[in-house]
Amino acid sequence: MHDHDTEVVTTNRHVLAWVGEMAELTKPDRIVWCDGSESEQRRLQALGEAEGWLRALNPKKLPGCFAARSNPNDVARVEHLTFICTPTKEEAGPTNNWMAPDQAYAKLRALYDGAMAGRTMYVVPYLMGPPGSPLAKVGIELTDSPYVVLNMRIMARMGQVAMDQLGDGDGFNRGLHSMSDLSAERRFICHFPQDNTIWSIGSNYGGNVLLGKKCLALRIGSYLARQEGWFAEHMLILGAESPEGETTYVAAAFPSACGKTNFAMLIPPERYNGWKIWTVGDDIAWMRVGEDGRLWAVNPENGYFGVAPGTNFNSNANAMKTIAKDTLYTNVAVSDDGDVWWEGLDNEPPENLTDWQGRPWKKGSPDKAAHPNSRFTAPMTNNPFLSPFVNEPRGVPISAIIFGGRRATTVPLILESFNWTHGVYMGATLGSETTAAATGQVGIVRRDPMAMLPFCGYNMGDYFAHWLRMQGELRFPPKIFMSNWFRKDESGKFLWPGYGENMRVLKWVIDRARGRATRRETPLGFIPRLSDLDLVGLDVTPEQVEHALRVDRDEWRAELESAGTFFETLAPRLPKALEMQRQLLLAQLG
Query: Which residues of the shown chain bind ligand SAT in the complex (CB under 6 A)?
Result: 77, 206-207, 214, 256, 283, 305
- For residue 572, is the peptide bond before it cis, meaning its omega torsion is within 30 degrees of 0? yes
Q: Which of residues 232-291 bind Mn ion (CB under 5 A)?
A: 283
- Residues 281-300 touching Mn ion, rule: CB under 5 A, are 283
Compute the Cα dihedral for 344, 346, 350, 354 and give only its sign: negative
| Shortest Å, Cβ 18 to ligand SAT | 25
Q: Which does 28 bind (CB under 5 to 8 A by kind): Mn ion, ligand SAT, none?
A: none
- Other Cβ atoms within 10 Å of 108 Cβ, number: 24
- Which does residue 137 touch among Mn ion, ligand SAT, none (CB within 5 to 8 A, set by kind)? none
- Three-state DSSP class for 520? strand
- Examine the residue annotation and report whether 85 is marked as an active-site residue of this protein: no
State which residue, 277 or 284, has the beta carbon closest to Mn ion. 284
Closest approach of ligand SAT to the CB of residue 257, in Å = 10
| CA–CA gap between residue 396 and residue 388 (Å, rounded) | 11
58, amino acid identity: N
- 426 vs 563: CA distance, rounded Å: 10
Q: Which is nearer to ligand SAT, 283 or 448 (CB)?
A: 283
Residues between 428 and 447 that touch Mn ion (CB under 5 A): none
Q: Count the Cβ atoms, other than its own, within 10 Å of residue 324.
A: 15
Cα 147 to Cα 13, 41, 355: the distances in Å are: 28, 10, 19
Q: Which of 101, 363, 390, 46 is nearest to 236 (CA)?
A: 390
Distance CA 172, CA 111 (A): 24
Give dist(CA 162, CA 130) in Å, integer.
10
User: Which residue, judged by CB position, is nearest to Mn ion in the bound state?
Assistant: 283
By beta-carbon proximity to ligand SAT, the closer residue of 254 and 556 is 254
Judged by beta carbon distances under 5 to 8 A according to partner kind, the member of Mn ion, ligand SAT, none in contact with residue 512 is: none
Instruction: Report whether 230 contacts 261 (CB < 8 A).
Output: no
**Interacting partner of 326 out of ligand SAT, Mn ion, none (Cβ under 5 to 8 A depending on kind):** none
Question: What residue 305 binds from ligand SAT, Mn ion, none (CB within 5 to 8 A, per partner kind)?
Answer: ligand SAT
Of all residues in the shown chain, the one whose CB is closest to ligand SAT is 207
Q: Which is nearer to Mn ion, 265 or 415 (CB)?
A: 265
Catalytic residue among 34, 85, 215, 258: 258
Report the number of secondary-structure helices (H) and strands (E) in the chain: 17, 31
CB of 38 to Mn ion, least distance (A): 28
Q: How far is the CB of 101 from ligand SAT (least distance, A)?
A: 24
How near is the Cβ of 214 to ligand SAT at its closest, in Å? 5
Give how far the C-alpha of residue 271 lies from the chain's centroid of Cα atoms, to the nearest Å.
30
**Whether 450 contacts 427, CB under 8 Å:** yes
Select from Mn ion, ligand SAT, none the partner in contact with residue 207, using the beta carbon and a kind-dependent cut-off of 5 to 8 Å. ligand SAT
Task: Report, in Å, the least distance between residue 137 CB and ligand SAT.
Answer: 18
| Contacting positions for Mn ion (CB under 5 A) | 283
Question: Which residues are known catalytic residues?
Answer: 258
